[in-house]
Amino acid sequence: MRLPNLRQLHTFRILMQTQNVTEAARQLNVTQPAVSKTIASLEDSLGARLFRRIRGRLYPSGDATRLLIEIERLFVQLEALNDGMEGLRSSQDGKIAISAIPALASSIVATSLARFARERPHIRTLLMSENSGNMLTQIGLHQVDLGFMYNHPGPEKSLSAELVAELEVVGVLHRNHPLASEPVLTPQILDGHAVILWEQNTPPSQLVREAFLREGLVPRDQFETNNSFAAKSMAAQGIGVALIDPTVMLGDTRTDLVIRRFRPLVPLRIFCIQSIYRPASQLSQRFLEDFVQAMRGFADTLRLDID
């Protein structure tokens, strides 16, 4: 059996991902016949049929599925080799790809990445704003280097989760709101007042609701959202108190909003997620170090702002 070359394996990998010869050809920047010829050559090398076309659709065989698993392992090693070679160069060069949940991607991660890139004008960056499920998938497929999310993702053999910072849920409200003069907001103080919460299926929202329930109270949750920036905008209209993460206030110089502590404390733990099969490049590791320092500074500023 002739050993397949990397071009054949790469073409096969793209075709398995797209399940479409036309799209595979577009991504590879070749013609459709070239894709078909490469796959036929690979099948000839392996002595196995990898795809069947039924009613115009392409279906991979069982051999193709098993082969893909081995090829993914190979490409992980190749990507790790490439990262290692990049790491031999200065961390002033290279590319870093990051995925984060929207609240973090739009605030502290974006700010940190911009500052990091400003000091390294030759690097290329990619920042994806994704829900936690999509983010974990991107890391597992090695589409990004680092991921950032609130709360531990749970047991996952192929991923590592490192606690890099801890914040807390805060109350954000209009300066003319009846409770704006309260230094600390509690379920008892908020009882009867409209609150703006994350949607119920999110862990932070569940913890906030549990804080009310422990006092025998139910939050007047007239308003729910899956976006902290939307909650802040609603609070700015004076319709309620937003119980959200404080990162949305980063760089906000508006004077119509105030931020208040919420007690009992509801922690927001930020985890950095990485693939255990792809060691962090020197560039990624340097960014993570800078991000941890930025989070410490932000936490200190937050304490000063609301004390």
Residue 200: the pLDDT is 84
Domain boundaries, the chain: 6-85, 89-160+273-306, 170-265
Residue 295: the pLDDT is 87
Global pTM value: 0.66
**Residues near 307 by beta carbon (within 8 Å), at least 6 away in sequence:** none
The domain 6-85 is placed in CATH, from the list 1.10.150.120, 1.10.10.10, 3.10.129.10, 3.40.50.1970, at 1.10.10.10
Class of domain 170-265 (CATH, top level)? alpha beta
Fold agreement (6-85, 89-160+273-306): no
Spatial contact of 280 and 145, defined as CB atoms under 8 Å apart: yes
Spatial contact of 168 and 307, defined as CB atoms under 8 Å apart: no
Q: Which helix (H) or strand (E) holds 291?
A: helix 282-306
CA nearest 141: which of 285, 6, 275? 275
Q: pLDDT band at 222, cuts 50/70/90?
A: confident
Residue 86: the pLDDT is 60
Per-residue pLDDT tens over the stretch 235-264: 999 999 999 999 888 877 778 999 999 999
Residue 137 has pLDDT above 80, yes or no: yes
Per-residue pLDDT tens over the stretch 58-116: 888 889 998 999 898 888 888 777 766 665 555 556 789 999 998 899 889 999 999 99
CATH H-level superfamily of 89-160+273-306: Periplasmic binding protein-like II (3.40.190.10)
Q: CA angle, 172 as apex, 168 and 173 as ends, to 5°?
A: 160
Per-residue pLDDT tens over the stretch 156-173: 778 999 999 989 999 999
As a whole number of angstroms, the distance between CA 174 and CA 180 comes to 7
Per-residue pLDDT tens over the stretch 276-302: 988 888 889 999 999 998 888 877 776
Q: Which helix (H) or strand (E) holds 204?
A: helix 203-214
Residue 199: the pLDDT is 86
